[in-house]
C-alpha cells in the first residue's frame, strides 16, 4: 500500500514538474497574464480600491451619525464648597464659612446623540472631488495596463529576436565548422596551406563567441519577459508566436490607419481629470465663505444616588433636546481670500499644463509614426540585404571548395555575412520596438 501511495505521489510530482516546463504563451496570452500578475498593475489596482474607500469615507461625512456614551462616577470624597456662614446664621461672624457638600456618591449617565449635516458647500464639493479622484485612479490604472501591455510586447519581441539571432548564428556556425573540417582534411592531404585552416579556425572561434553571447542574451531576454509578466524567474516558458506571424500584423499603413484624436490618449485624459480636481478645489475655497447648517438631537438618562443602584433600579432622570447649529464665517484675517487666490492660480496652471500636454502628445505621436515608417523601411532593406549576403557567402563557399578563391576572400565574405546578419537583427528589433513606442504614444488600449 505504501509503495502504491509513493508511486502515485511520484507521478503527481513529475506531472507537476513537466507542467511547469510546458508553459507556453502567445503574445496576447503573455499580456493577459501580465494584466493579472504584473507588480505595477497590482499596485495601481490597489490605488483604485483605496480611492473607492475614500469616496465612501467622504460620503459618510454627510450621512446621519449616532453616538452613544455612558459615564460612571464614584466620589470617594465629595467636593466641598465654602459659603459664608451668615447665609444660614445672621449672627455668625463675617469671616466664618460653612462647609457644604453637593452631589451624590454615585453618578451614572447614559446618553445618545444624533447629528445630521443639512448644508455645507465644502462637503458637496469634497464629495465631487473624491469621485473625481476615483476617476483619476481608474485612469491611472488604465495607463498602467497600456504600459504593461507594451512592456510585455517589447520583452516578447526581444526574446523572439534573440532566438532568431541564435538560430541564424547556429546555421552559420554549422556550415563554417563543416567547412573547417573539410579544409583540415584537405590540408592533411597536402592540397592547401596551413594558413587556410588557421583562417577558418579564427572565423569559427569568432562565430562561437557570438553564439555564446547570443545564448546569454536570449536567457536575459526571457528573464526580463518573465519579470514583466509577473512570473517567477525560475519558471520555464515557451513562446508560441513566431516572428513571421507577428510580422504579418506589422505594416507601414498600420501607423496611419486611424485618425488620431488627442482626447483618446490616456495621458490627456489623466491631465484633464487633474484639471477638474483643481477646478473643484477652487469651488471648495469659494464655499468657505458660505454658511453651514447642521441638526442635532440629544437624549440622556442620569442616575444619582448615595448607593450603587445602576442595575437594581434607583431613579433615572431624563433630559432631551434637539436643535440647529448654524456656522457663518465673518472675518478670517484675509486667510480665506488668500487660499481662494492660490486655488485660482492652481487651476489656471492646470489649464495651461493641459494645453502643453496636448501639444506634447501630438508631437510624440508624429515622431513615433516617423520612427515607425523609417524602421519598417530599414527592416525591408536589411532583410533583402541578408538574403543577398547569404547568397554571396554560399557562392564564396562553393568557389573556395573548388579552389577559385583564397581563404582570405572567403573570410571577408563570411565577415560581411555576419555584419549583415547583425544589422538585420537590429532592424528587426527596431521595427518591433517602434511598433510598441507608437502604441505607447497613441495611448489607447487598441
What pLDDT was estimated at residue 4? 44
Strands (E) located in 184-287: 237-239
Q: What is the pLDDT along the chain (446 residues), one digit of tens a residue?
A: 444 444 444 444 444 444 455 689 999 999 999 999 999 999 999 999 999 998 998 888 888 999 999 998 888 888 888 888 777 777 778 778 887 877 788 888 999 999 998 888 888 888 899 999 999 999 999 999 999 999 999 999 999 999 999 998 898 889 888 888 888 988 888 877 888 888 888 888 998 999 999 999 999 999 999 999 999 999 999 999 988 888 887 765 555 556 788 988 999 999 999 999 999 989 888 888 889 999 999 999 888 888 777 677 677 889 999 999 998 888 877 888 898 899 899 999 999 999 999 999 999 999 999 999 999 999 999 999 999 999 998 898 888 888 888 878 888 888 898 899 999 999 999 999 998 888 888 888 76
Q: Rounded CA gap, 388 and 414, in Å?
A: 12
What pLDDT was estimated at residue 7? 44
Residue 160 neighbours by CB under 8 Å, 6+ apart: 239, 241, 242, 243, 246
What pLDDT was estimated at residue 20? 53
Q: Rounded CA gap, 214 and 351, in Å?
A: 50
CA distances from 12 to 3, 6, 17, 24, 222 (A): 14, 10, 9, 20, 27
What pLDDT was estimated at residue 12? 42
Q: Nearest CA to 132 among 238, 272, 242? A: 272
Q: Rounded CA gap, 436 and 250, in Å?
A: 11
Query: pTM surpassing 0.85?
Result: no
DSSP assignments along 118-153, one per residue: EE-HHHHHHHHHHHHHHHHHHHHHHHHHHHHHHHHH
Nearest 5°: the CA angle 31, 21, 9 is 125
What pLDDT was estimated at residue 251? 64
For the 20-62+120-291+334-442 domain, the top CATH level (class) is mainly alpha
What pLDDT was estimated at residue 290? 86
- 3 state DSSP class of 82: strand
Neighbours of 167 (CB within 10 A): 12
Nearest 5°: the CA angle 435, 436, 437 is 95
What pLDDT was estimated at residue 22? 64
Phi, psi at 83, each rounded to 5° = -130, 150
The helix (run of H) or strand (run of E) holding residue 327 is: strand 316-327
Q: Rounded CA gap, 289 and 126, in Å?
A: 15
What pLDDT was estimated at residue 253? 53
| 412 neighbors 392 (Cβ within 8 angstroms) | no
What pLDDT was estimated at residue 420? 93
User: Which three cell numbers, joined as nine digits, stand for 442?
Assistant: 497613441
What pLDDT was estimated at residue 240? 92
Helix axes 27-37, 194-229, angle to 10 degrees: 50
The helix (run of H) or strand (run of E) holding residue 176 is: helix 121-188
Phi, psi at 98, each rounded to 5° = -95, 140
Q: Rounded CA gap, 102 and 104, in Å?
A: 7
Burial of 308 per CB tally in 10 Å (0-12, 13-18, 19+): middle
Q: Rounded CA gap, 153 and 158, in Å?
A: 8
Q: Rounded CA gap, 323 and 262, in Å?
A: 54
Q: Rounded CA gap, 286 and 424, in Å?
A: 63
Q: Nearest CA to 227 among 154, 141, 140, 144? A: 154
Q: Rounded CA gap, 218 and 237, in Å?
A: 12
Amino acid at each position: 500500500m505504501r509503495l502504491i501511495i509513493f508511486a502515485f505521489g511520484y507521478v503527481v510530482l513529475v506531472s507537476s514538474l513537466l507542467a511547469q516546463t510546458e508553459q507556453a504563451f502567445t503574445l496576447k496570452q503573455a499580456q493577459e497574464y501580465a494584466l493579472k500578475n504584473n507588480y505595477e498593475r497590482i499596485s495601481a489596482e490597489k490605488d483604485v480600491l483605496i480611492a473607492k474607500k475614500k469616496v465612501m469615507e467622504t460620503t459618510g461625512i454627510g450621512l446621519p451619525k449616532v453616538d452613544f456614551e455612558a459615564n460612571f462616577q464614584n466620589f470617594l470624597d465629595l467636593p466641598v464648597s465654602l459659603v459664608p456662614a451668615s447665609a444660614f446664621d445672621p449672627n455668625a461672624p463675617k469671616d466664618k464659612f460653612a462647609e457644604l457638600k453637593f452631589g451624590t456618591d454615585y453618578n451614572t449617565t447614559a446618553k445618545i446623540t444624533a447629528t445630521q449635516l443639512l448644508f455645507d458647500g465644502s462637503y458637496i464639493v469634497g464629495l465631487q472631488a473624491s469621485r473625481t479622484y476615483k476617476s483619476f485612479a481608474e485612469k491611472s490604472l488604465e495607463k498602467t495596463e497600456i504600459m504593461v501591455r507594451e512592456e510585455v510586447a517589447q520583452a516578447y519581441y526581444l526574446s523572439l529576436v534573440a532566438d532568431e539571432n541564435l538560430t541564424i548564428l547556429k546555421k552559420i556556425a554549422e556550415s563554417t565548422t563543416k567547412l573547417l573540417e573539410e579544409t583540415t582534411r584537405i590540408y592533411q592531404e597536402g592540397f592547401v596551406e596551413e594558413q587556410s585552416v588557421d583562417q577558418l579556425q579564427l572565423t569559427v572561434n569568432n562565430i562561437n563567441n557570438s553564439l555564446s553571447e547570443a545564448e546569454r542574451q536570449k536567457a536575459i531576454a526571457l528573464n526580463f519577459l518573465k519579470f514583466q509578466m509577473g512570473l517567477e524567474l525560475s519558471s520555464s516558458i515557451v513562446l508560441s508566436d513566431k516572428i513571421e506571424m507577428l510580422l504579418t500584423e506589422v505594416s507601414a499603413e498600420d501607423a496611419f490607419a486611424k485618425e488620431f484624436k488627442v482626447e483618446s490618449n490616456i495621458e490627456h485624459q489623466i491631465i484633464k481629470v487633474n484639471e477638474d480636481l483643481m477646478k473643484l478645489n477652487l469651488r471648495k475655497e469659494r464655499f468657505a465663505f458660505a454658511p453651514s447648517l447642521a441638526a442635532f438631537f440629544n437624549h440622556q438618562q442620569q442616575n444619582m444616588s448615595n448607593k450603587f443602584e445602576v442595575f437594581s433600579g434607583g431613579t433615572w432622570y431624563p433630559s432631551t433636546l434637539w436643535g440647529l447649529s448654524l456656522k457663518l464665517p465673518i472675518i478670517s484675517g484675509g486667510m480665506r481670500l488668500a487660499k481662494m487666490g492660490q486655488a485660482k492660480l492652481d487651476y489656471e496652471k492646470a489649464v495651461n499644463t493641459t494645453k502643453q500636454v496636448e501639444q506634447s502628445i501630438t508631437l510624440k505621436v508624429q515622431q513615433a509614426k516617423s520612427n515607425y515608417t523609417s524602421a519598417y523601411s530599414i527592416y525591408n532593406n536589411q532583410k533583402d540585404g541578408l538574403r543577398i549576403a547569404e547568397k554571396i557567402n554560399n557562392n564564396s563557399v562553393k568557389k573556395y571548395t573548388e579552389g577559385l578563391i583564397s581563404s582570405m576572400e572567403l573570410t571577408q565574405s563570411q565577415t560581411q555575412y555576419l555584419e549583415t546578419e547583425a544589422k538585420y537583427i537590429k532592424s528587426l528589433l527596431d521595427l518591433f520596438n517602434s511598433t510598441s513606442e507608437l502604441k505607447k504614444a497613441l495611448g489607447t488600449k487598441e
